[in-house]
């Protein structure tokens, strides 16, 4: 099993991450360009925060398992850096 990473460790050049985070903010968003998405703000145990998105094609799979205030271990296959 992969070691746990911190939010501050995340880099876009690596393709597999395992992070334990709390969902501190969660909302659904709709736009004509991207459809319905689930938007979240996560925080790790060190207090580092990061934004995450569930794309429209996967909303149905995750809408009932993600709740604000929950702590989750996430396995991330891709990480994109936006400025």
Q: Is 69 inside any structural domain? A: yes
- Residue 3 pLDDT > 70: yes
Q: Is 82 inside any structural domain? A: no
pLDDT in tens, 25-63: 999 999 898 899 999 999 999 999 999 899 999 999 999
Q: Is 81 inside any structural domain? A: no
Q: Is 55 inside any structural domain? A: yes
Q: Is 34 inside any structural domain? A: yes
What pTM does this model have?
A: 0.83
Residues spanned by the domain of 23:
7-76
Q: Name the domain count of the chain.
A: 1
Residue 39: both structure tokens together:
């938007």
Among 74, 75, 81, 76, CA closest to 11? 81
In terms of pLDDT, which residue wins out, 65 or 10? 65
Is 27 in a helix, a strand, or coil? strand
45: domain CATH number is 2.40.50.140
């Amino acid at each position: 099993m992969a070691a746990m990473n911190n939010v501050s460790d995340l880099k876009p050049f690596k393709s597999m991450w395992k992070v334990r985070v709390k969902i501190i903010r969660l909302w659904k968003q709709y736009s004509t360009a991207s459809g319905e998405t689930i938007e979240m703000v996560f925080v790790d145990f060190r207090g580092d925060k990061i934004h995450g998105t569930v794309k429209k094609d996967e909303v149905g799979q995750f809408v009932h398992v993600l709740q604000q205030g929950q702590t989750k271990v996430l396995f991330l296959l891709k990480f994109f850096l936006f400025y």
